[in-house]
């Protein structure tokens, strides 16, 4: 409940248009919608500046369809992450299908049109080609949140000249998302070259002692270069979200 | 070496005022100063917008004193982190002592005056009182980098009303540093209340299955609320640095 | 062997109706039934107030059928956990099929009727929708043990108002089962709002650094809020059992 | 703020005795006291039926003294856990010293008199003698919360007859706290003998592959006997608190 | 090469029937047979009192058949562990099929007849029914090595009377193999009841925080009862081998 | 209570010399002595063929002295492990001091005379010199239990000829205790040379990725050579106890 | 860009044949080729003496084919590791198929002819037969880089005579690659016998507490024998590459 | 025993100058010297080209002195690693003190003169100043083994220009030792710049999620750049030894 609504409610009470009991009850009622299997946080767009995002694993097609329908009301773009092609088809066929697309690299369903007018420059960087799906999840998320996004892929530290040759691109961004598996060294090197924050994303790319991304995660947590913060392994969505919050801040 | 200097150098070569060999050599020489035990990255303030910071553990008093002296030239504020009182005394007595202070909660030496004109609002939040030293390290770092910093301490999730009672403070900040040990749940709850990025700092506060902060670190990495990125356990400095980069971005 | 039987036996010995050797042997024999592949603890219902429960993984359909048949004698409700649909069909077709049902969310076979008269109020809470199967396992177990069970699903900490909006429900229960994956923060927040014990159940919901539920487990073990105890990852059955023991104690 | 106070406030608004702005502000203010370094949750006794407990590590004597003084107002018994003898002396000398005692096995300061009239029977069991300090922390906590507490120490599974010889004691309790280090097997065996809930406490007693209590913790999480829930390693306080909540429930 | 052969060789050299170079070479040549993909340790039966055993995973049917053929020469019983049914069929059809059998619980191929005259009493005990495959691997191995083997299955600690009711069986054995998953508590309890060595076998039975047997392994390593030593998770073969070495020692 | 005593008791009941109630009580009373802080398992020597051993860490001098006094009655040799010199002095000065000695390498107090007539040959082997304290703990334990013990120290695998040069010694033993830190490879190599069981003891000798003995423990659990079982890190006592049980079995 | 090219460029600038802006740009441009999904490090053969190698997992057949085509230009041998048979067919059918072969043990595609004239002697050793695929990956890599490679397979430490019988082979090599799973003891023993460097490769061969090669990795890191360095679990390619660099060094 | 000695022995047997029994015995005796607490591998210098090195932790001064005296005979340089100043004084005062020095950064005692004529170029690189002690241990070891050693310290990846500015130095070495703590990224970047092998040494420099060097170790194991092999955390000695073996190979 927004502050204005609360003020109005209290004024109604003062003016005798509401009973104490009713107000008590309304003060307690919160802005979400109970759908049985889920409590949709319809208030989130107001509170956090972007609507709730649907994380698909463990949800049935029916549940995803219902959540899309409910969230679509009054919101510009709806994202569903880690979606399968089957999820996408279900969502598409449950509507007129307009404005619903699927990115199979990023495994995301985008409902609605990405914003045309964008602000802030996010650069998404990967160490290798296998890191691209995670990077695309980040990129599309940041685009959906209204940022300009550029990509710089396959510039891992084994050939550092590939990175240095793109230093202008690196320095032009207002925030960087750096995606790397294996030894996870890229964020440290990138961060040392720029004056902007770096969101580091460890990936599960690798084998053996990479322990499904743990090696990269630990490396990124221990970076000797300040100006880096880390999200979960393979969490492209979280990185893109964080980057967009930084690149396109809510005016205060 | 800055772009302008490089252009000038190349023009001198073109104009015959420099020999090929000399230019070759200069192209190779990089902007750091070799002090034997260390290569001071004197270029860092230009490249990254804040000078190198001295991490004291494992360095002798002599080394710290020399690094302070070298970095002080031409820079406004110098920070030395995880400094002991003995480190501080050595630094103080090696100079006229002016403008050198020590914060014993944050264990930091500050050389030079913190900037007066500040921009951006950083809010540093802790779950408990034991998290305060890490929080202060973050706060002083962000202040040194030119941000306005507010504190909100001891608002852990066991009494969530303490947090909700400060929601205005939370929503007014342009970036939050949230410091918590034990189960590390605070960043998730805080993040759900605001529309700004949250830098989460796990601390080693706790015992038993906290495994010196690992429990908090894992919890923060797995937050169900987007808009969170994590730094190393007890890394207040890194969190403050990241927050300042976000709160007070270099104009692009 | 119950105390009364033992007294009778000893009296028979005293009265010469039993030989020393026979009594020696009977003192050694214990109240279980040896079925070859298993030793059914038929004494358990007397000793622990609820009969042995069948954990299905690693057992053949034949073994499950036999165990159900043996345990059914003299007991009201029999539970078989982590059962597949195939297990259920085998159990159903091996009997007249009456009073045998299967819950596919909770993956449980219930043999016999759940008790009508119930005591104690158990509330089962989940952070997200993916935690529901584990929650249902807890709920059905507590119902089978004679408790009133309520559900409150999808009230994770990213939108804490969903939780606060249900505080009456939370405070009305006599014991809570709180189920959460990812960062496992929900039990701490819930526990801070109530004056009743919380059984925390970490789930394997999540990815990357959740390490199949380890992150949630560690978070719950380290809760800053007293009044929480934890069961194994995904162990809905154990949580429901514990909750029922608390909500409906054996009179002493 | 309690419901009654809220109703009164709203009535005052309705009756014109309070302005809208004032009520708005009061609705936001929450029931804790800000002491600068800490926000004392003075509301906790009302909300959770027992006042906040002071965890001493990482707090100065001054801070502990102030917290004791603040919490003492209006509460019966105050506990300070993991207190050193020096903490105790500071607390004692800062008051008239009456009703302040220190238990050096449990490392607890008890301020005020333990309740005379007690309800519920808690039995605290240990595997070995080295587990006694953790057990005493549990026992004193449960006593402070108004329970009758019995002890049964050094009945580890290497001589299971010691345990069986006390089965009456085990079965008479309404809840058990079972404390064990090393392989942590005792809760499983105890739980199999009783019809009451078991709170299991792993301890850091052991060496080598006990990994400071991790082995015991994992064993207890994986117990084959239902009716067990686990608290953190060495967390006697948490176990006693949970046990008291169960043994002496708030009437609903 | 056996001592006698060496003596003979040296005598031949002394007597001029062998040249220095030839002896040099023979001293170097070791008693194994190089089959290209493997070096069969044909000397092992002499050196260790039991021939090499074939571990099937990662070997082709052809390789297993060849190894069986080679090892069969001059040895009584040949074992192939973790064999699939397909492995068995290949071995069977590559010979006259006589004296080749397959145990599908233990997943072992036995080539040759188990020894009739046996010595030493090995008792194999399991906590649950799911531990039986590992137990059978142990039992058959010990039988193949010439021991009398008894089984006692499903006597886990949740109903300790099942164990105590079999104490005679436990005390009659000369060595015990105790197999348990989950919390792995059974070896400690068993060991406390007997005066004979216990070989503990953790199994991967369990879920969640059992971490595929790690919990049981750690518990067994930390047993408070002396007289226990532990083999690898699910390593029934190793336990049976060790037990047979103890129960039927080589006379010295 | 031994079988004979039980038979006598039952006969007395039959003959009317004992009442049913008395016998009931005696059947329940178990053979241990309750010393308040400990329940001494006085029955253990009968049940397990060697009296309870005192593990000193976490016990006060007074407690150790009392336990020694109690256990000394009727037992030949009493061992106290991981004892400090101060423990020893306390034990010594609390008696006439006769027959009490301290081994400072093994950190053991031996009360009473080691048995003169010994059976079974135990060989204790170490990889390096730093493993000797653990080895001595094993050796003295096995001697106290009546075995002949030989030592073979500093024969690690980096110079395998040192081991091969002692192969007669290795093969003459009836059981081997092999103690190694770092990579823990020695038990595998030794086991491959002998036809007797090997008890492997990982030690915490090493640094870095030895993780306080974890590396050695894992290596030993995974030995490719059958006939090895493992005890806890640094657990010389447990290894010696196990070895003595094997080398000098109770006749059955 | 090679030094000579740089000198020429600078001379052209000096002589007025290049503009400052052009040189600036060229100094920045780095020697790689941007293929969209990848930045092929075409400079690597010059810089590192062997062209980039294609790691196939996570790449589509199309991507692999394009990379092979691009790298083939001007390079002698191209390797693609961890390739499936389908990868191979795609590569083969996209060209005339000449000089393209597939080794299914090593799972490698070799494009071009292995060098005829070879230098340096690499010996690849395995503990067991299951380690052979990793060993073959190492062997073929070293051959492709111009080394003579010998194999010595199945000489694990359980039968150390198999190893000693090949000591001449071991001592003749100029560098050894030693591949072992399970306890990973072989490199220590081998290293103690030779005066040449040993590259140790842990493999994921094993089960239970081998934790997919972690046990072997830790053992190898902690070897008591100097002269060993370790590569990632199952990283035959890396070991072969390192060995070739050592066996056939670039003249300096 | 060297081959020549063996041939002579066999000839004496042939010629009747030795009896069979004597030769048997000598064939068994191995070239080490048994000092009671240690078996000095006097054969090692012959077998491995460098004498045994004394690892001081866990050894008494007396033991170190005796080992130095024994090893000094016939060897050029003796190293004692991880030595304290007290160890050094004991060694010095037990001899005439000539040619015995102590390096307190590397914590090494060097007995004898470092070789004057050196071969092979080893470059030791560190990421930070805190890594220098480990680096010096490596450097002195390689010097003692006859290599030319250069140092390049404090060139971590946060300021990659410091590294690139030294690329000639990097490319001139025949082998590199790269020492780094924290995220351990330096070896990957260095390796990408050179055509020579890199020995990577993780250090325990760092805090929090560095887990005492584990993060660096895992990063180095997972390097995306081939031509790297890793030694144990803080194992400067092992890295220097390996580097010297590579830089100054035994001619074959």
From first CA to last CA, the distance across chain F in angstroms is: 20
> With bands split at pLDDT 50, 70 and 90, how would you rate the model's confidence at E139?
very high
What is the rounded distance in angstroms from the CA atom of residue F215 to the CA atom of residue G214?
9
**Residue E48 touches chain G, beta carbons under 8 Å:** no
Of A213-222, E5-14, G226-235, least confident by mean pLDDT is E5-14
Torsion over CA of G159, G165, G170 and G172, rounded to 10 degrees? 180
Contact by Cβ (8 Å): H145, H240: yes
Averaged confidence pLDDT in chain E: 88
Averaged confidence pLDDT in chain F: 88
**Residue C235 touches chain E, beta carbons under 8 Å:** yes
pLDDT of C40 > 80? The answer is no
CB contact under 8 A, G218 and F206: no
What is the rounded distance in angstroms from the CA atom of residue C91 to the CA atom of residue F180?
53
Q: What is the pLDDT of residues B95-143, one digit of tens each?
A: 887 889 999 999 999 999 888 888 899 999 999 999 999 999 999 999 9
pLDDT of E38: 74
Closest to A10 (Cβ–Cβ): which among D6, D7, D23? D23
Highest-confidence range of A42-56, C22-36, F176-190, by mean pLDDT?
Answer: F176-190
Q: What is the pLDDT of residues B136-175, one digit of tens each?
A: 999 999 999 999 999 999 999 988 888 888 888 998 999 9
CB contact under 8 A, E183 and D127: no
**Residue A28 touches chain C, beta carbons under 8 Å:** yes
Give percent of chain C with pLDDT exceeding 70: 89
D178 in helix, strand or coil? strand
Structure tokens at H91: 């060694």
Q: What is the pLDDT of residues B92-102, one digit of tens each?
A: 999 887 889 99
Tell me which chain E residues have a C-beta less than 8 angstroms from the C-beta of G167: 28
What is the rounded distance in angstroms from the CA atom of residue B177 to the CA atom of residue B135?
8
Tell me which chain E residues have a C-beta less than 8 angstroms from the C-beta of H16: 14
pLDDT of G29 > 60? The answer is no
Q: What is the pLDDT of residues A67-101, one digit of tens each?
A: 999 888 767 789 999 999 999 999 999 988 788 99
Q: DSSP letters of G68-101?
A: HHHHHTT-S-EEEES--HHHHHHHHHTS--TTEE
Residues 133-162 of F with CB under 8 A from G: 156-160
Closest to H183 (Cβ–Cβ): which among A156, A209, A224? A224
pLDDT of C2: 39
pLDDT of D203 > 80? The answer is yes
What is the rounded distance in angstroms from the CA atom of residue F117 to the CA atom of residue F148?
9
Q: What is the pLDDT of residues E206-238, one digit of tens each?
A: 999 999 999 999 999 999 999 999 999 999 999
**Residue D209 touches chain C, beta carbons under 8 Å:** no
pLDDT of H219: 97
pLDDT of D150 > 90? The answer is yes
pLDDT of H28: 45
User: Smallest CA–CA separation between B168 and chain H, in Å?
Assistant: 33
Tell me which chain E residues have a C-beta less than 8 angstroms from the C-beta of F222: 232
**Touch criterion met for H and D (3+ Cβ pairs within 8 Å):** no
Comparing A50 with G139, the larger pLDDT belongs to G139
- Residue C139: how many other CB atoms lie within 10 Å: 27
CB contact under 8 A, D246 and C246: yes
Tell me which chain A residues have a C-beta less than 8 angstroms from the C-beta of G212: 208
Most F CBs within 10 Å, among E195, E198, E216, to test the F interface: E195
pLDDT of A22: 73
> For chain B, which chains pass the contact test of at least 3 CB pairs under 8 Å?
A, C, D, G, H
> With bands split at pLDDT 50, 70 and 90, how would you rate the model's confidence at C150?
very high
pLDDT of E36 > 80? The answer is no
Residue spans of alpha helices (H) in chain H: 3-14, 20-28, 44-48, 61-72, 85-93, 132-144, 160-164, 167-172, 186-191, 214-221, 236-247
Closest to B161 (Cβ–Cβ): which among D31, D212, D217? D31
From first CA to last CA, the distance across chain C in angstroms is: 21
Q: What is the DSSP letter of C152?
A: E
pLDDT of E74: 65
What is the rounded distance in angstroms from the CA atom of residue G195 to the CA atom of residue D226?
59
pLDDT of A2: 39
CB contact under 8 A, G129 and E213: no
pLDDT of H52: 86
pLDDT of D91: 96
> With bands split at pLDDT 50, 70 and 90, how would you rate the model's confidence at C28?
very low
**Residue B45 touches chain H, beta carbons under 8 Å:** no
Which residues of chain A are under the pLDDT cut of 50? 1-3, 28-30
What is the mean pLDDT of the segment spanning F135-148? 96
What is the mean pLDDT of the segment spanning H237-242? 97
Work out whether strand E228-230 and strand D108-111 pair parallel, antiparallel, or are unpaired.
unpaired
CB contact under 8 A, H37 and F209: no
Averaged confidence pLDDT in chain C: 88
pLDDT of F144: 94
User: Smallest CA–CA separation between F39 and chain H, in Å?
Assistant: 37
Averaged confidence pLDDT in chain B: 88
Residue of B nearest to C159 (CA): B192
pLDDT of C236 > 80? The answer is yes
pLDDT of B6: 61
Q: What is the pLDDT of residues F203-236, one digit of tens each?
A: 999 999 999 999 999 999 999 999 999 999 999 9
> For chain E, which chains pass the contact test of at least 3 CB pairs under 8 Å?
C, D, F, G, H
Residue of G nearest to H238 (CA): G226
Of C152-161, E1-10, E96-105, G110-119, least confident by mean pLDDT is E1-10
**Residue H203 touches chain A, beta carbons under 8 Å:** no
Q: Which residues contact G154 (CB under 8 A, 6 or more apart)?
A: E37, E38, E39, G126, G127, G128, G129, G162
What is the rounded distance in angstroms from the CA atom of residue G77 to the CA atom of residue G113?
6
CB contact under 8 A, H41 and F208: no
Closest to F164 (Cβ–Cβ): which among H30, H59, H63? H30
CB contact under 8 A, F24 and C16: no
Contact by Cβ (8 Å): E210, E218: no
Tell me which chain A residues have a C-beta less than 8 angstroms from the C-beta of D10: 13, 20, 23-24
pLDDT of H220: 97
> With bands split at pLDDT 50, 70 and 90, how would you rate the model's confidence at G22?
confident
pLDDT of D1: 38
Contact by Cβ (8 Å): A152, A124: yes
Residue of H nearest to A187 (CA): H158
**Touch criterion met for A and C (3+ Cβ pairs within 8 Å):** yes
What is the mean pLDDT of the segment spanning G50-63? 89
What is the mean pLDDT of the segment spanning G22-32? 57
pTM above 0.80, yes or no: yes
Q: Which residues contact H218 (CB under 8 A, 6 or more apart)?
A: A183, A209, A210, A211, A214, A215, A218, A219, H184
CB contact under 8 A, F31 and D161: yes
Q: What is the pLDDT of residues G186-214, one digit of tens each?
A: 999 999 999 999 999 999 999 999 999 99
**Residue D246 touches chain C, beta carbons under 8 Å:** yes
pLDDT of H4 > 60? The answer is no
Q: DSSP letters of B100-136?
A: EEEETTTTEEEESPPPSS--SEEEEEESSSTTHHHHH
User: Smallest CA–CA separation between H59 and chain B, in Å?
Assistant: 26
Q: Which secondary-structure segment (H or E) carries C166?
A: none
Between helix A20-28 and helix A3-14 the angle, nearest 10°, is 170
Of C67-76, C145-154, H212-221, least confident by mean pLDDT is C67-76
Comparing B252 with E92, the larger pLDDT belongs to E92
CB contact under 8 A, E20 and H10: yes
Of A57-61, A97-101, F34-38, G146-150, least confident by mean pLDDT is F34-38
pLDDT of H110 > 60? The answer is yes
Work out whether strand A108-111 and strand A78-81 pair parallel, antiparallel, or are unpaired.
antiparallel
Give percent of chain E with pLDDT exceeding 70: 88
3-state helix, strand, coil in chain E (%, to 5): 40, 15, 40
Tell me which chain E residues have a C-beta less than 8 angstroms from the C-beta of D157: 157, 185, 188-189, 192, 224-225
CB contact under 8 A, D14 and A20: yes
Most H CBs within 10 Å, among A181, A195, A215, to test the H interface: A215
pLDDT of C114: 87
Q: What is the pLDDT of residues H62-78, one digit of tens each?
A: 999 999 998 887 677 89
**Residue B207 touches chain D, beta carbons under 8 Å:** yes
CB contact under 8 A, C218 and B214: yes
pLDDT of F45: 65
> For chain G, which chains pass the contact test of at least 3 CB pairs under 8 Å?
A, B, E, F, H
Structure tokens at E172: 């009659």
């Amino acid at each position: 409940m927004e502050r204005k609504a609360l003020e109005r409610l209290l004024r109604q009470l003062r003016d005798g248009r509401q009973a104490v009991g009713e107000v008590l009850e309304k003060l307690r009622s919160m802005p979400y919608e109970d759908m049985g299997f889920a409590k949709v946080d319809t208030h989130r767009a107001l509170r956090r500046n972007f609507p709730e995002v649907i994380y698909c694993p463990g949800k049935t097609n029916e549940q995803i369809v219902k959540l899309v329908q409910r969230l679509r009301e009054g919101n510009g773009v709806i994202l569903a992450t880690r979606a399968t092609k089957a999820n996408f088809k279900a969502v598409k066929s449950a509507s007129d299908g307009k404005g619903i697309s699927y990115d199979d690299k990023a495994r995301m369903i985008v409902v609605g049109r990405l914003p045309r007018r964008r602000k802030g420059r996010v650069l998404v960087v990967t160490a290798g080609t296998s890191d691209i799906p995670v990077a695309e999840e980040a990129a599309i998320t940041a685009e959906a949140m209204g940022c300009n996004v550029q990509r710089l892929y396959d510039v891992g530290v084994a050939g550092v000249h590939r990175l240095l040759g793109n230093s202008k691109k690196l320095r032009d961004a207002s925030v960087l998302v750096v995606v790397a598996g294996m030894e996870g060294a890229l964020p440290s090197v990138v961060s040392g070259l720029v004056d902007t924050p770096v969101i580091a994303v460890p990936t599960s790319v690798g084998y053996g002692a990479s322990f499904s991304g743990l090696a990269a995660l630990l490396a990124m947590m221990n970076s000797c270069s300040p100006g880096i913060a880390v999200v979960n392994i393979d969490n492209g969505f979280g990185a893109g979200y964080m980057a967009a919050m930084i690149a396109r801040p809510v005016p205060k």
